[in-house]
Chains A and B, each alone.
Chain A
Amino acid sequence: MRHIISILIENEAGALSRVAGLFSARGYNIESLSVAPTEDASLSRMTLVTRGSEEIVEQITKQLNKLVDVVKLLDLTEGAHIEREMMLIKVRASSGSERDEVKRLSDIFRGNIIDVSRTSYVIELTGDSNKLDSFIQALGEITILETVRCGSMGIARGEKSLHL
C-alpha cells in the first residue's frame, strides 16, 4: 500500500542523506521525496511517499524515528489529509492547433502557462499525483519536451498538525 509520511527533521547538513541512506540500506522503496525548511529555520519538513506491506511501513516509520535527526514523524495515510504535487511541463506548441489544444487542456486542469516561446509552452500544474498523471495522458499527441515534478507534499486535514 502507498503511504505518505511527513517528517520534521533537524535542518542540518547530511540530514537528507541519512533518510535516503536508510531507505537504500534497508531496501525500502522511495517513490518521491520532497524537503524544504519550515517557518522555523532550524527544522526541515520532509514528505516521503513509499510503498510496502503494513509490516514494512511499520518498520520504515520506526527506523525513521530512530534517526537521531528526526524530531517528529506522521504517517498521513492514517487520517484524512491533503496531498499536492507541483509539475512544470514543457511541451511543443508551434502550430496554431497545438497552441490552442495545450491552452485548453491547461485551463481544464487549472494549470497556468508560465512561459511562452515561438515553439513551446511551460505549464505549471498542481494537484495530487493522479491529477498530474492524468494531465500527461490527456496531452496525447502533444510532444512533451521536459517534465519536472517536485514530489508529493502532504498535510493533515483539520486541527491535527505536525509541529513541535
Chain B
Amino acid sequence: MELSGAEILVQFLKDEGVECVFGYPGGSVLHIYDELYKQEEIKHILVRHEQAAAHAADGYARTSGKPGVVLVTSGPGVTNAVTGIATAYMDSIPMVVITGQVPTAVIGSDAFQEVDTVGITRPCSKHNFLVKDARDIATTLKKAFHLATTGRPGPVVVDIPKDVTDPNVKVPYSYPETISMRSYNPKIKGNARQIRRAVQLILSAKRPIIYSGGGVILSGAANSLTELTRMLNIPITSTLMGLGGYPATDRQFLGMLGMHGTYEANMAMHECDVLIAIGARFDDRVTGKIEQFCPNARIVHIDIDPASISKTVKVDVPIVGDVDSVLTEMLQLMRNTDSELNQVELKQWWELIAKWRATDCLAYDHDSDLIKPQYVVEKLWEITGGDAFVSTDVGQHQMWAAQFYKFDKPNRFVTSGGLGTMGFGLPAAMGIQFANPDSNVACITGEGSIQMCIQELSTCFQYMLPLKIVNLNNRYLGMVRQWQEFFYGSRYSHSYMDALPDFVKLAESYGHVGIRIENPADVEGALKEAFALKERLVFLDFITDQTENVYPMIAAGKAHHEMEMSPKSVLI
C-alpha cells in the first residue's frame, strides 16, 4: 500500500486502535488535518489552547486504560503543550504527542513557528523522536506507543516536519504489529529471591504499614494490593497519586500520608518497624524531613523503575518489577507459608493506631455561617455515591478533595501530583468525560486555578460535556495564603484574587449553567440540582470561608510526627 506521510499517520492511528485525538491545527500539521477531515473513525477533539490538549489526553489516559494522543503544530503549539507534557511526565502517564515541525530543509534557520521541539521536550518526556522520512513514520509511532505504555509509562513526543507528511510523496505502508528495541526492555517480573526476602521481613514485623503510590494505579494492581492488605490485616496509607488503590472507606485505610496526610497515617509511618512501599517514590511531600523518615523501619520497596529505588531513602529489600506481578507472587508465597504475623503485636499496633485516629484530625467547624470547603467536598462525595470521577487543580482544594472524597476505586481521582499544575483540572475532566461519557465527572477547583484554563469552557460547550465544576471560591490563592499566614507573618503578598469575574455569568456566556452558593444550607441542594442536569455543564461557584486552612500540616523540613493540627481536632 503506497500512502503519503499524512495518510500513514492517520492510518497508523486507526490500526493502533486510537479512538480520539486531542489537538489544535496549525501550519505544519495542515497535511495531517486534511487527512483527519477525510475520515470519521478517529474523533478529533478541538481544544482552545494546546496545554489543554495535553491535559485532556492525560485525563483520558488515566481513566480509559489507553494512552492519550495529542496533535499540535510547531513552535507555539509545542511550547503551549509543554506544561501538559511535563505534567504527564511527572505523574508517569502514557501519552503520545505528535507535533508538527517546519520542513526539514529549513530546520535550524529560525523559520516561522520553528522551535527545537526535541530539545525542549527532552527533559520532560520519557523519550522523543524527530522523523525525517515518511518511511519511518509508522515504526517511529509504534515505538512511541510502546515506550509510552510499557515499563514506567510516560509521554513520548514525535516531531514530524511538514514535508514528511507531504500528500504528493507516497511511500509503502504496512502496520508494524510488534516492535523490539534492544535498548529498552523493562523488567516486569520481580527477582524471586528478593520477593522471598520481602515476605520474610513483612511476616516478622511487629508494626508493619503499607505505603502505596501511583504505581499501584498505573499497574492495575488495586485488586492484588487489596487482597494482600486484607490477608495480612495490616494498616495501609496512600500517597496523593495512589488514592483509590485501596478502598478509602475500609477500616484498614489510614488516609493519605505526607504534608497534608492524616495524623494516624503519619504517626504510623513514624512508628512502624517494617515499611512496605509499593509503587511509590518517596517524594519530598511524602517523606518530610528525610533524616527522620520512618526512623525505626526496615523498608521493602517495589517499583518498576530501578532509578526510583534508593533515590532519596535507602531501602533494605528493593524489588524491581511491575507492582501487580510482584504482589501476585507475594500473595502466592504468603498463602503457602506457615508463618504469620505475630497477632498479639499486631493487635497492639492497631490499638495504638486507634488512639491516633481518635484525634479526629480532619475535623472542621460544622456550625459556621460560612461555607466550609471541606463540607462541600463531603457533600459531593455523598451525592455522587463516592463513585464520580474527580479531577482537581492545585492548591488547598486539591488537598481537601484528597482528604474528603473517599475513593474506593482506582482511576477515579485525577490530579497533578508531581508537577502541581494549576489549570489541569478542567481540561483533564474533559478527557475523563470523553473516556467515560456516561459517568459523573466533577472538577474540584479554586477561583485561581480555574482561570488558568478557563477558555476550555468553550470546548465543553462544543462537545456538550456535562461536567460539574465545583469551584471552592475563597478569593485567595489559598495554599499560598496559608503558607504566608504560617511562615510569612500573615503578609499576604499577591495571594488575594482581586477583580474576579462573575463566574455565573461567565459560565452562562459560554452556554453553560452557573450557580452561586453563599450559604451552607444551600450546598447540598445546589449539588443535587447540578447532578440532576445530566446533559449540561454546571459551574458551581461556592463562596467559601476565606480563612480556612488545610490540616494537618507538616511544615517543610519537619518530620512525620511534627504535625500542625487543626484547632478542631482532639489533641492527645
Bound Cα distance from A155 to B311, whole angstroms: 28
Find the B residue at minimum CB distance from A70: B183
Bound Cα distance from A10 to B182, whole angstroms: 9
**For chain A residues 103-156, which have a beta carbon within 8 Å of chain B?**
none
Bound Cα distance from A13 to B130, whole angstroms: 9
B307 touches which of A18, A21, A62, A68 (Cβ 8 Å): A62
Find the A residue at minimum CB distance from B122: A21
Bound Cα distance from A14 to B314, whole angstroms: 33
**What sequence of 0s and 1s flags, for each residue 69-93 of chain A, a beta carbon within 8 Å of any chain B beta carbon?**
1110000000000000000000000
Bound Cα distance from A62 to B152, whole angstroms: 14
A17 engages B122 (CB within 8 Å): yes
A62 engages B306 (CB within 8 Å): yes
Determine the chain B residues whose CB is within 8 A of the CB of A70 once the complex forms: 183
Asked whether any CB of chain B lies closer than 8 Å to the CB of A66, the reply is: yes
A17 engages B119 (CB within 8 Å): yes
Asked whether any CB of chain B lies closer than 8 Å to the CB of A164, the reply is: yes
**For chain B residues 96-127, which have a beta carbon within 8 Å of chain A?**
118-119, 122-123, 126-127
**What sequence of 0s and 1s flags, for each residue 287-311 of chain B, a beta carbon within 8 Å of any chain A beta carbon?**
0000000000000000001110111
Bound Cα distance from A62 to B306, whole angstroms: 7
Find the B residue at minimum CB distance from A15: B183
B118 touches which of A14, A55, A63 (Cβ 8 Å): A14
**For chain A residues 4-28, which have a beta carbon within 8 Å of chain B?**
9-10, 13-14, 17-18, 21, 25
B184 engages A58 (CB within 8 Å): no
Determine the chain A residues whose CB is within 8 A of the CB of B119 once the complex forms: 17
Find the A residue at minimum CB distance from B124: A25
A55 engages B123 (CB within 8 Å): no
Which among B123, B130, B183, B306 has the greatest number of chain A C-beta atoms within 10 A? B183
Asked whether any CB of chain B lies closer than 8 Å to the CB of A38, the reply is: no
A71 touches which of B118, B122, B182 (Cβ 8 Å): B182
Asked whether any CB of chain B lies closer than 8 Å to the CB of A65, the reply is: yes
Which among A10, A14, A62, A68 has the greatest number of chain B C-beta atoms within 10 A? A68
Find the A residue at minimum CB distance from B306: A62
Bound Cα distance from A49 to B184, whole angstroms: 24
Asked whether any CB of chain B lies closer than 8 Å to the CB of A29, the reply is: no
Asked whether any CB of chain B lies closer than 8 Å to the CB of A94, the reply is: no
B183 engages A71 (CB within 8 Å): yes
A63 engages B310 (CB within 8 Å): no
Which among B123, B130, B307 has the greatest number of chain A C-beta atoms within 10 A? B307
**For chain B residues 126-153, which have a beta carbon within 8 Å of chain A?**
126-127, 130, 147
Asked whether any CB of chain B lies closer than 8 Å to the CB of A59, the reply is: yes
**For chain B residues 166-185, which have a beta carbon within 8 Å of chain A?**
181-184
Range of interface residues on A (Cβ < 8 Å): 20 to 34
CB of B58 to closest CB in A, whole Å = 21
A65 touches which of B181, B306, B314 (Cβ 8 Å): B306
Chain A binding surface, main DSSP class: helix
With A14-B118, A17-B119, A21-B122 as known contacts, state yes or no: A69 contacts B310, CB within 8 Å.
no
B307 engages A66 (CB within 8 Å): yes
Determine the chain A residues whose CB is within 8 A of the CB of B310 once the complex forms: 55, 58
B183 engages A69 (CB within 8 Å): yes
B182 engages A68 (CB within 8 Å): no
With A55-B310, A66-B305 as known contacts, state yes or no: A25 contacts B123, CB within 8 Å.
yes
A21 engages B306 (CB within 8 Å): no
A63 engages B184 (CB within 8 Å): no
Bound Cα distance from A47 to B118, whole angstroms: 24
A68 engages B130 (CB within 8 Å): no
Determine the chain B residues whose CB is within 8 A of the CB of A21 once the complex forms: 122-123
With A13-B130, A66-B306 as known contacts, state yes or no: A18 contacts B183, CB within 8 Å.
no
CB of B184 to closest CB in A, whole Å = 5
CB of B142 to closest CB in A, whole Å = 14
B123 engages A68 (CB within 8 Å): no
**For chain A residues 24-61, which have a beta carbon within 8 Å of chain B?**
25, 55, 58-59
With A18-B122, A25-B123, A66-B305 as known contacts, state yes or no: A59 contacts B311, CB within 8 Å.
yes
Bound Cα distance from A133 to B314, whole angstroms: 38
Determine the chain B residues whose CB is within 8 A of the CB of A69 once the complex forms: 127, 183
Bound Cα distance from A81 to B523, whole angstroms: 72
Find the A residue at minimum CB distance from B308: A62
A10 engages B130 (CB within 8 Å): no
Determine the chain A residues whose CB is within 8 A of the CB of B311 once the complex forms: 59
A164 engages B182 (CB within 8 Å): yes
CB of B57 to closest CB in A, whole Å = 21
**For chain B residues 263-282, which have a beta carbon within 8 Å of chain A?**
none
B122 engages A68 (CB within 8 Å): no
CB of A40 to closest CB in B, whole Å = 11
Find the A residue at minimum CB distance from B186: A66
Determine the chain A residues whose CB is within 8 A of the CB of B314 once the complex forms: 55
Determine the chain B residues whose CB is within 8 A of the CB of A65 once the complex forms: 306-307
Find the A residue at minimum CB distance from B307: A62
Determine the chain A residues whose CB is within 8 A of the CB of B127 once the complex forms: 68-69
Q: Beyond the given A62-B307, A68-B126, could you list 11 further A-B residue pairs with CB under 8 A, ordered by the A residue number?
A: A9-B183, A17-B122, A25-B123, A58-B310, A59-B307, A66-B305, A66-B306, A68-B181, A70-B183, A71-B183, A164-B182
- Chain A interface residues (CB < 8 Å from chain B): 9-10, 13-14, 17-18, 21, 25, 55, 58-59, 62-63, 65-66, 68-71, 164
Smallest CB-CB A-B distances: 5 pairs: A62-B307, A71-B183, A68-B127, A25-B123, A66-B307
A-B pairs with beta carbons under 8 Å apart, 15 shown: A14-B122, A14-B130, A17-B119, A21-B122, A25-B123, A55-B314, A59-B311, A65-B306, A65-B307, A66-B305, A66-B307, A68-B127, A69-B183, A71-B182, A71-B183
